[in-house]
Amino acid sequence: MSTTYADKTASATGKYVGRAVDRVDGPAKTTGEARFAAEYPYPGLAYAALVHATIPRGRLTAVDTAAALAVRGVIDVLTHENAPPMKPAPKVSFLDLSTLVSGTPVNYLATDEVHWNGQPVAVVVAETPETARYAASLVRPAYEELPAAVDFAAEEGNAVPQKGNLISEAAADKGDAPAALATAAHSVDLTFSTPPHHHNAIEPHATTAVWDGDRLTVHEAAQNIAWTRRHLAQRFGVPEKGVRVLSPYVGGGFGGKGSVWAGTLLAVLAARATGRPVRLALTREGVYHTVGGRTPSTQRVALGSDADGRLTALIHTSVSRTGRAGGMGEPITAGTRHLYASPNIHLRQNVVQLDLLANTFMRAPGESIGTFAVESAMDELACELGLDPIELRLRNEPDRDPVGGQRLAHRRLREAYALGAERFGWSTRDPRPGVMRDGRWLVGMGVATAYHPSMRMPANVTVRLGADGTVVVRCGLQEMGMGTATVQAQIAADELGVPLESVRFEYGDSDLPSGPGAGGSAQTASAAAGVLDACDKLRRTLLGLARRVPGSPLRGVRPEDLEARDGGLYHAGRGQTYAEILAAAGRGHVEAESRAGMLGFMVRTLRERRQWVRAATGAQFCEVRVDPDTMEVRVSRWLGVFDVGTVINARTAASQLRGGIVMGIGMALSEQTLIDHRDGRIVNASLSEYHVPVHADIPRIDVQWLNEPDSTMPLGLRGIGEVSITGAAAAVANAVRHATGRRVLDLPITLDKLMG
């Protein structure tokens, strides 16, 4: 029997969990007291700047550094000819998950090979950042060019079947989907395309690296400090325990800070080579050239149904790209396995390698762009059938996993759509396209389903209670602005029955017990399991101390009957405060630890995968207004109703869910990374030319959740970091279809695609 955590809710008084608690790190951030990776002062600090290759593929024949070295204030220029060596990146293996942070296997400055346009080929270290950047502009690499494949559209025909891995299969077959499609009463068969995207966190990547002999301290903008530490120890051949990665504040990541990229490695290398503390803060353009973004995709979705709209065939195939030097095949059809009860399903993922920077994780890799295609196709099938698009989805809602047959842990999509339809006023929608108007604007309403799997990772946590009533919770996780630090403090406060103000949560330091990464929407549940376990152990320790004291009202009380409240332990109205227990026991503090081994974790994960399919889901409702002359699209209303289990903090959860929707609107209407097909150069590597939504683009976003615990998850909570970007682009496309009668298959939906 796999563990269920439903019982773990019993001990919580619920004073803080579920409330809209202010962020514990809010004051530090708003007053500027919070220091980010590029803000740590060190005596003798030097500054590094990168020189980027300007060809997509080839070899360096020479790097002329004379002019750069002649600039006053330049300390050194490192190239493949003089840089100290780094060890090669470890091969990615699921036996050591830390290997997942190798963004690319390219061994910077240890090779004369150029693998993408923008690859760092030299590092300038100088006394000021301005000097470093100016001198970097004077470095002249010379190349021998090799033929390169950089155009996804031209190369996608060379794609090969993608390999699956432990957490994501790359193909599925159930029944005979092509045959069922051919004989279906109704069908659609559409080909979609999505462009490359970049993360654009508000804080560009930055590293401050300091060596002291073999000991290394790195201030880093990271989503996984434990794996970053291990990676750096391996690359620089030093003991892991001598490496300390500090990342207390991170200005957004979205997956872009989930790997160790060039800036981090080269800052550490430059510090070692010069014997100085070195800071390397990437420019926005530098982020584009050294941190992988999201793959472009081409996707075919073909759906067949009977006369009533019950699916008889579901086909979803995809082509994505990686880099010839690294990257991960994006699991574009991964969500489609679980969405609809079709007797015939065919899923395939294909991938082509290009001479571009490795792609990487970006918010809901797979589901973000996969749901755009599937949920657009479902909308088109609804049009074909003359059926309401919500009704079509409800008719195909599965009772068990459509491919694997497992039980669905807590799926409430029907309820999400019912609540959403009511709240959004779906019944006011005239199903005919192009007839709803607001003055001269065309009005359209669209829906789409959101889907993202719920995962957990191992987390080690300690909890310490002092005689002064202070609780210190330690876990080396990351806070990128999502509310992580706040929600874990809320959980600990409730578990121990103490005021939130007396809980200090320490995180963002690799010297702490190793925590989960901020990725896969898994961090909150992973750490919560550790906090619950450590608090449980702490209560038992306190009870043990209390029971030893003659006359204690807790003598004879069983741990499971305890109530932690008002700064103490109680049963049936009688009990003792923690201060009394510690004083009677002559102890200054007590501490408890929760440890999670990787092996046990993997075994349990695989066993659970056979039993359960677990996911956060949601119903996205979008209303657009389209100018009938210019075809300008404005999103005018949004509602997302999510089934995400227990919500720990109403404020930070709402903010997370809204953020994903904003990113989905960007994906729908404006975001695209443009690559010069001649030389593989990113041509819009800036926020002035890569258009993320701004305030004026975003209406008030109404987010709701069903707030029913998922009994298979700690405290009944599911991750919420990614689910709300999924389905969002399709909801926009479907609303545009409703407003204009035009189905746009190619993101982003720019004016030109709606004209003529």
Does 335 bind ligand MOS (CB under 6 A)? Our answer is no
Structural tokens at position 590: 């007590």
Nearer to ligand MOS, 202 or 572 (CB): 202
Nearer to ligand MOS, 53 or 351 (CB): 351
Axis crossing angle, helix 523-548 with helix 578-585, rounded to the nearest 10: 50
CA–chain centroid gap for 170, Å, is 20
722 is catalytic: yes
Amino acid making up residue 666: G
Query: Applying CB under 6 A, which part among 77-85, 141-149, 247-255, 453-461 lies near ligand MOS?
Result: 247-255
Query: Applying CB under 6 A, which part among 98-106, 261-269, 342-350, 360-368 lies near ligand MOS?
Result: 360-368
Least Å distance, CB 517 to ligand MOS, is 8
Measured between alpha carbons, how far is 658 from 646 in angstroms, rounded to an integer? 17
- Residue 592 φ then ψ, to 5°: -140, 155
Query: Applying CB under 6 A, which part among 159-167, 176-184, 251-259, 508-516 lies near ligand MOS?
Result: 251-259
Does 327 bind ligand MOS (CB under 6 A)? Our answer is no
| From candidates 277, 335, 365, 444, binder to ligand MOS by CB under 6 A | 365
Quickly list DSSP for 403-436.
Answer: TT-PEEES--HHHHHHHHHHHHTGGG--SSTT--
Query: Applying CB under 6 A, which part among 227-235, 334-342, 357-365, 659-667 lies near ligand MOS?
Result: 357-365
Measured between alpha carbons, how far is 626 from 444 in angstroms, rounded to an integer? 8
Least Å distance, CB 635 to ligand MOS, is 23
Nearer to ligand MOS, 368 or 636 (CB): 368
8-state DSSP, 99: G
Residue whose pair of structure tokens reads 């029997």 in the numeric block: 1
Do residues 738 and 184 lie in contact, with contact meaning Cβ atoms separated by under 8 Å? no
Least Å distance, CB 244 to ligand MOS, is 23
Amino acid making up residue 664: G
Name residue 209's beta-bridge partners.
Answer: 218, 278
Do residues 508 and 478 lie in contact, with contact meaning Cβ atoms separated by under 8 Å? yes
Residue 26 Cα distances to 33, 248, 592, 652, 656, angstroms: 10, 13, 28, 11, 15
Measured between alpha carbons, how far is 492 from 575 in angstroms, rounded to an integer? 20
Residue nearest to ligand MOS (CB): 255
Identified catalytic residue from 156, 169, 563, 722: 722
Does 618 bind ligand MOS (CB under 6 A)? Our answer is no
Strands 46-52 and 278-281: parallel
Within residues 258-287, the interface with ligand MOS by CB under 6 A covers 258
Measured between alpha carbons, how far is 75 from 95 in angstroms, rounded to an integer? 41
Query: Applying CB under 6 A, which part among 40-48, 362-370, 637-645, 739-747 lies near ligand MOS?
Result: 362-370
Does 255 bind ligand MOS (CB under 6 A)? Our answer is yes
Least Å distance, CB 359 to ligand MOS, is 11
Do residues 731 and 622 lie in contact, with contact meaning Cβ atoms separated by under 8 Å? yes
Number of residues that bind ligand MOS (CB under 6 A): 11
Nearer to ligand MOS, 24 or 222 (CB): 222
Give the x/- contact pattern for ligand MOS in 209-238, rule: CB under 6 A: --------------x---------------
Nearer to ligand MOS, 263 or 420 (CB): 263
Within residues 513-542, the interface with ligand MOS by CB under 6 A covers 519-520
8-state DSSP, 91: P
| From candidates 58, 253, 335, 366, binder to ligand MOS by CB under 6 A | 253
Least Å distance, CB 303 to ligand MOS, is 28
Does 366 bind ligand MOS (CB under 6 A)? Our answer is no
Quickly list DSSP for 513-534.
Answer: SB---S-TT-HHHHHHHHHHHH
Measured between alpha carbons, how far is 535 from 544 in angstroms, rounded to an integer? 14
Contacts with ligand MOS by CB under 6 A lie at 223, 253-255, 258, 361-363, 365, 519-520
- Catalytic residue ranges: 722
